[in-house]
Amino acid sequence: MISFAEHRARFLELLTQERAAAVVATSPHRIRNHDAEYRFRPDSDFWWLTGFAEPESVLVLLPALTAETRPRTVLFLREKDRERETWTGRRLGVTAATAKLGIDEARRIENLWTDLPQLLKGYERIVHRTGIDEARDREMLAVFAKLRATAKAASPPPVALLDPAPMLHELRLFKDASELDTMRRAARITRDAHVAAMRTAKPGVNEREIDALLDATFRRLGGTGAAYTNIVAGGANATILHYVLNDQPLRDGDLLLVDAGSEVDWYASDVTRTFPVNGRFTAEQRAVYQVVLDAQLAAIDAVRPGAAFDAPHERALEKLCAGLVDLGIVDGTAAEVLAAEGFKRFYMHRTSHWLGLDVHDCGAYLANGSARALEPGMVLTIEPGLYFAEDDAAIDARWRGIGVRIEDDVLVTREGHEVLTRGIPKTVDEIEAACAGRVPALSGA
């Protein structure tokens, strides 16, 4: 069980040091078209602090300003309403909220903007993320104005609006044991979805069918769904990094790149596997695949406490450059290709990002201007690739249209690392066995 109370306590400790209060809102409803909404997904900061997934809710965290007072948390949420609940779903309601969520006080969401000036009185700084909901930003500025207008010498108005990144997002960057259990569960479901894709893909099957199979597997096995839009890219579609149309028939002799991860309790996994549509790599596909796999394994090996965040990327680049030279795709030595960035035409993204509630999770990448050191509890992806455009006249025709990426999720541990997404077929032999249906469909997620 994730301890949201512990998360709130940790954030309140930092807020106390800063003499700051925080106002953390969940996501707004998002319209897909006309009046049809996307399925609601809570804001990650808000979820991390509350474990509450209803829309129209705002958490206010108020650290103690004096030795005599205690820190307080106030949740604004929708009141129970029989008629509205008939239309849009069940509500927790104000009365049940404190006991259920361990919050000190619950109030109706309609009172948020009238109550806030009083609640925020006396705090020098207010933490609030702007730029998500313009109407909410305007209301926050009005609260600031009101606090200024009513300030007394004994309780001066706030002087700064702070972004949550330096405090809250640094906390979220380090995953505790229960968060990691959740991420391992997401990884197991993702394993089963990728194995299902390998078993099902064959010439004539449409990318759309694999896309649907991934979504079905993510939800059938207990996840909230896909952590991000699935990428199901057959043949040269794999050379388009964010290909999400997923609507083309798979062709005999092509590779299929699947970048898809399940989300469990709103925690993401993020995995890419690339495998042959007909179950057998061609010589060229296998050669490119092996270069990317060697780069990925070397990068994973570089994940350990104290290593720079960039170290895995640098290891991957060395291997990719050596591979490009060995395959005869680029001229010169590996060191020359690396120095001149001759790899960029075929590897144009970076190797890692943080992973957590958000697929590109929060947390700074730099400390004092350079790549920060890895520390236990951080989770990052390792995802090198090589992409040869189908119209790249500068390379031999046999490489054109091949796109390979291999991506796993890696936890930094005290001893080194743990690959959370291990057990998903990855070597050439494992992949060909999975495509032939010789790998168990379920891991028992």
Q: Does 358 bind Mn ion (CB under 5 A)?
A: no
375 catalytic residue (yes or no): no
Catalytic residue, chosen from 192, 207, 263, 270, is 270
Beta strands in 129-244 (DSSP E): 160-162, 225-226, 231-234
104 catalytic residue (yes or no): no
Spatial CB neighbours of 256, under 8 Å, sequence gap ≥ 6? 197, 201, 207, 210, 232, 233, 234, 238, 250, 274, 275, 276, 277
Report how far apart, in Å, the C-alpha atoms of 24 and of each of 38, 84, 127, 266 are. Answer: 21, 25, 8, 17
Whose Cβ is closer to Mn ion: residue 190's or residue 224's? 190
430 catalytic residue (yes or no): no
Tell me how far, at minimum, the Cβ of 168 lies from Mn ion, in Å.
22
270 catalytic residue (yes or no): yes
Residues 193, 290, 361, 37, CA torsion sign: negative
What six digits make up the tokens of 104? 């000190």
Catalytic residue, chosen from 125, 349, 350, 372, is 349
Whose Cβ is closer to ligand GLY: residue 383's or residue 432's? 383
Q: Judged by CB under 5 A, which of 259, 265, 408, 432 binds Mn ion?
A: 259
**Per-residue interface string for the shown chain with Mn ion, residues 265-284, x marking contact by CB under 5 A:** -----x--------------
358 binds, among Mn ion, ligand GLY, none (CB under 5 to 8 A by kind): none
Residue in the block written with tokens 């979805």: 193
What is the rounded CA–CA span in Å between residue 322 and residue 238?
22
Q: Does 381 bind Mn ion (CB under 5 A)?
A: yes
Cβ-closest residue to ligand GLY? 259
Contacting residues toward ligand GLY, per CB under 6 A:
228, 259, 270, 353, 359, 383, 407
228 binds, among Mn ion, ligand GLY, none (CB under 5 to 8 A by kind): ligand GLY
- Angle of helix 428-435 versus helix 283-301 axis, rounded to 10: 120
Chain Cα centroid distance, residue 442: 24
405 catalytic residue (yes or no): yes
**Residues engaged in binding Mn ion (CB under 5 A):** 259, 270, 381, 407
Q: Which residues are part of the catalytic machinery?
A: 35, 242, 259, 270, 349, 353, 360, 383, 387, 405, 407
